[in-house]
Structure 1
Amino acid sequence: MKAIDLIGQVAAGFLKRSINIDEASEGVARYMLDRLTAQQVAAVCHAIRQDTPLCALSKFKCRDHLLEITDFLKRF
């Protein structure tokens, strides 16, 4: 496992534990991935996409410059 993939898995695990994956609950939580590199943000998004229940509850918004810096879309 690469270090960048580990960063993604740890962040996705944190998010999964932080939110209640229960269809009966409602609400919005915003997690900003501030101070992470573009590659780290891509790794976090990729790890979330690999977790079907977490992905179903997630919405991604990334700045355009992150898409330009990384091969972000190629990872999905």
Structure 2
Amino acid sequence: MRFLGEIVWLILWAVCVAQDCKEPPPRKQTEVLSGAWTAQTYPEGTRATYKCRPGFRTLGAIIMECRNGQWESLNP
């Protein structure tokens, strides 16, 4: 029975969880469009959409997504 208890403990201990991200990183001459970024952390899959400041333009949207604790660009 002790062996069964150790297996259950190992299964529970080996659970994987996604890492949250801190606030979206600043990007030159942009501001974040979506929402107020007041939380301390943001869950996996959260997206931040940026827009250019007046006088600047971009080709396409600038979107970043929280993946495994890091913000990654969804644009090529």
Normalising to structure 2: TM-score of the pair? Answer: 0.20
Which one has a bigger Cα radius of gyration?
Answer: 2
More strand by share: 2
More helix by share: 1
Normalising to structure 1: TM-score of the pair? Answer: 0.20
**Bigger relative contact order, structure 1 or 2 (CA pairs below 8 A, ≥6 apart):** 1
